[in-house]
Amino acid sequence: MDSALILATGLTVSRNEVAAPFPHVADEASLRSIAERVESVLRRCGAPGEWEVQHLGSLPPVQRNYLLERGLMTPSFAANTGSWRLYALFQGGRAAVEVNGGDHLRLLTSGAGDVLSDLWATIDSVDDQLETEIPYAFDERWGYLTAHLDDSGTGLRAYATIHVPGLMITGRLGGIALGLARQGLGLAPLWNGAGGVFQVFNKRAQGTSEGRITEAVAAASADIVDQERTVRKRLFRENPVSVRDHIGRALGTAQQAWSVSNAEGLTLVSSIQVGVVMGLIEDSGLGAEDTLRMMRRIQPAHLVIDEVGPGFAGLEDPQVDEVRARTLRRLFAGARAEL
């Protein structure tokens, strides 16, 4: 069950060129030089077409949001359109590189489930390729040097996205977050906590190794989802009618509603998936491991691109809620609550 509750994991690595000023103080010529060198090395390495390189400004807002929703762009990079910001996608989404954001380079990768070790292998290889052209700012005392002190050292941030609605509704996440803070880890809600989805991540990249960072995040997230499992069992044992009622109502709404907001949609999918994992919902056509895929599928940019196509008024269009409801009705058409 752990893998079902650890929805996804991700890594980002921050790097800078040794001689150039960091992006927030660099002039146009310096930013351009970095961008051109990165583009050159990415076009040279790997098979033809393996890297898609674009200027951030040329990506429409819907496309940027789509990449954010897929975990292939960071919110801070997407929000700012500074000069010579490049975005490079590797093998259709296996990894990505943000150029001239907070640092010269930020490498990203993410995958379903607890796959931090595999992700490190991918990003380490991309990092080595980039270093052939970009000599990195590095100090033998402090490691890789970045614009912000917290990223210096390994430059690595590791993230685990976890599904913990039971811990959320029982008010236990505050204590858990404080415990994590003592270990140098943080806990932050995704989608403002809708659906009980949270991220565990390391707060510092300094004074440790990449292996220890990923191990700490993996161990902490495994421990938290174990607590979630215990809470779910206890809730069902103590009040089975209330749990069945909550899950049954969520399924009913998902099968019958005609307009569903993003937050409501996430909460519905969350409750239904709790029911699937606990064996209280049958024939949903979806596995326990599909939670994040479904949650992504009802995000605004995914609905616009996958369900509607071009020509839509935008992500704020009220029709998005109708398309979301239609998608949910279709997703859960065959599901039924166990009686």
138 binds another protein (CB under 8 A): yes
Six-digit token string for 263: 């937050």
Specify the residue, 126 or 335, whose C-beta has the smaller distance to another protein.
126
Angle between helices 240-256 and 319-331 (to 10 degrees): 120
Cβ neighbours of residue 141 under 8 Å, at least 6 residues apart?
A: none
210 binds another protein (CB under 8 A): yes
98: helix, strand or coil: strand
Which range in 50-58, 72-80, 224-232, 279-287 contacts another protein by CB under 8 A? 72-80
Q: Which of residues 102-121 bind another protein (CB under 8 A)?
A: 108, 110
- Give the integer Cα–Cα distance in Å for 43 and 172: 48
Interface size with another protein, residues (CB under 8 A): 80
76 binds another protein (CB under 8 A): yes
At residue 255, what is the residue type? Answer: Q
Least separation in angstroms between residue 111's CB and another protein is 12
Q: Which of residues 4-33 bind another protein (CB under 8 A)?
A: 8, 10, 12, 16, 18-22, 24-25
Specify the residue, 8 or 260, whose C-beta has the smaller distance to another protein.
8
- 14 closest CA partner among 170, 137, 187: 137
250 binds another protein (CB under 8 A): no
CB count in 10 Å sphere of residue 25? 9
Contact status, residue 119 vs residue 10, Cβ threshold 8 Å: yes
Instruction: Kindly write out the interface string for residues 303-322 of this chain, putting x where it contacts another protein by CB under 8 A and - elsewhere.
Output: --------------------
Least separation in angstroms between residue 175's CB and another protein is 5
